[in-house]
């Protein structure tokens, strides 16, 4: 499946009307795995979509994240980052170069002794690690 039809499917599955601009943002996030900020998405897409505004990109990533089509990552206090990979994985932020790396996680489970499953319905889990990457350490 190419990225275009993947994007359309993802948006439709999340109940989002696939407009041209939403598709472009979704395409970009599926193709670029470096967890870009909304500004980075805007500067990369603007040359090919001159009518695109920064506000549209900000509203689009917000809409996509709220509906579960993408992940909003808050590991970096200065900039919210976005991820087209919505499968369960953790993130590692390098405190020197600011790059965010994906980290696989397996068998993540919280203790059921505190009645967690009774009292809380978990809809989202985010795991963040911080440190120094191979290049910076
Ligand atoms: Zn680094
Ligand atoms: Zn990721």
Token pair for 130: 């911080």
Q: Residue 137 C-alpha to ligand 1 middle, in angstroms?
A: 7
Three-class secondary structure of residue 106 per DSSP:
coil
Q: What is the pLDDT of residue 96?
A: 95
Q: Is the pLDDT of residue 136 over 90?
A: yes
Farthest CA pair distance, the chain: 55
Token pair for 8: 């359309």
Q: Residue 133 C-alpha to ligand 1 middle, in angstroms?
A: 4
Which ligand does the CA of 89 lie closest to?
2
Which ligand does the CA of 92 lie closest to?
2
Q: Residue 83 C-alpha to ligand 1 middle, in angstroms?
A: 19
Beta bridge partners of 129: 92
**Window from 2-6, 25-29, 49-53, 70-74 with minimum mean pLDDT:** 2-6
């Amino acid at each position: 499946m190419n990225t275009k039809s993947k994007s359309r499917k993802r948006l439709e599955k999340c109940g989002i009307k696939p407009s041209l601009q939403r598709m472009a943002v979704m395409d970009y996030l599926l193709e670029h795995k470096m967890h870009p900020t909304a500004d980075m998405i805007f500067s990369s897409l603007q040359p090919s979509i001159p009518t695109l505004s920064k506000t549209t990109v900000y509203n689009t990533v917000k809409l996509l994240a709220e509906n579960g089509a993408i992940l909003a990552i808050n590991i970096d206090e200065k900039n919210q980052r976005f991820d087209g990979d919505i499968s369960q994985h953790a993130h590692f932020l390098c405190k020197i170069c600011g790059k965010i790396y994906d980290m696989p996680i397996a068998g993540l489970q919280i203790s059921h002794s505190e009645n967690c499953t009774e009292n809380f319905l978990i809809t989202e889990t985010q795991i963040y690690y911080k440190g120094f990457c191979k290049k910076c350490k």
